Chain A
């Protein structure tokens, strides 16, 4: 079935350092979404990318969608302790039912 691979699984950074997580798919994606899950919490929608080569920014977060629409990245500039959590990419399943296929997630730890 359709899969979305996400790396790295874990990332420990010093506060102020940058962080990037990557998602890859073997098939072309119609769109890609990013979610953040804080420890003990539930996933919260961050953004959706639809267009080839699209780049969107939310303050210190930069989201990119590859030209071939098979990969995406989330980059956080100058991490803060509030950025701690697990970041998931998710792609719409091919069945057009609205279901999402989640990547494995990248858990970010930020040392103050």
Chain B
């Protein structure tokens, strides 16, 4: 099956710093990637849809200036949490659907656990 990687897997940072998370599709191209946030024992909350070569589409209530998304190529999307604060601590997961569109199945990255001190 298709593989999606995320880097880093875990990051601890001080309040006020910015953190960049990378999402890569390793063996397929993806014109669209999705960024989710998951709190402990909770469901996945879609934050934004990352579109290759164009602006990301953010879900209601998600600050686009806080969570910067760049999808510069068909295999890479980045999420930057700017001026991170403790309430931004969470598990961030990306997913991608192959451009070939097989059954709309989404392949998830392993996630990035962000802890802001």
Inter-subunit contact A48/B106 (CB<8 Å):
no
- Contact among A1, A43, A103 for B93, CB-based, below 8 A: A43
Q: How far is the CB of B50 from chain A (nearest CB, A)?
A: 11
Main secondary structure of the interface of A (DSSP, over half): strand
Q: Which residues of A contact B95 (CB under 8 A)?
A: 43
Q: How far is the CB of A24 from chain B (nearest CB, A)?
A: 15
Q: Does A85 contact B (CB under 8 A)?
A: no
Inter-subunit contact B106/A45 (CB<8 Å):
yes
Inter-subunit contact A105/B106 (CB<8 Å):
no
Q: Does B108 contact A (CB under 8 A)?
A: yes
User: How many chain A residues touch B (Cβ–Cβ < 8 Å)?
Assistant: 22
Q: How far is the CA of A42 from the CA of B94 in the complex (A)?
A: 10
User: How many chain B residues touch A (Cβ–Cβ < 8 Å)?
Assistant: 23
Inter-subunit contact B104/A92 (CB<8 Å):
yes
Inter-subunit contact B46/A98 (CB<8 Å):
no
Q: How far is the CA of A98 from the CA of B49 in the complex (A)?
A: 9
Q: How far is the CA of A13 from the CA of B54 in the complex (A)?
A: 47
Given contacts A33-B105, A97-B49, contact A104 B43 (CB under 8 A): yes
Q: Which residues of B contact A88 (CB under 8 A)?
A: 43-44
Given contacts A99-B49, A101-B46, A102-B43, contact A45 B107 (CB under 8 A): yes
Per-residue CB contact flags for chain A residues 92-112 toward chain B (1 = under 8 Å, else 0) read 100001111111110100000
Inter-subunit contact B108/A42 (CB<8 Å):
yes
Q: Does A44 contact B (CB under 8 A)?
A: yes
Q: How far is the CB of B52 from chain A (nearest CB, A)?
A: 13
Q: How far is the CB of B69 from chain A (nearest CB, A)?
A: 14
Inter-subunit contact A42/B110 (CB<8 Å):
yes
Name which residue of chain A comes closest to B109, CB basis.
Answer: A42
Q: How far is the CB of B102 from chain A (nearest CB, A)?
A: 10
Q: How far is the CA of A109 from the CA of B43 in the complex (A)?
A: 17
Can you add 10 more A-B contacts, CB < 8 Å, to A35-B108, A97-B57, A102-B43? A33-B105, A42-B108, A44-B108, A48-B105, A88-B43, A92-B104, A97-B32, A99-B46, A102-B46, A105-B43
Residues of B participating in the A interface, judged by any CB pair closer than 8 Å: 32, 34, 41-46, 49, 57, 60, 93, 95, 97, 103-111
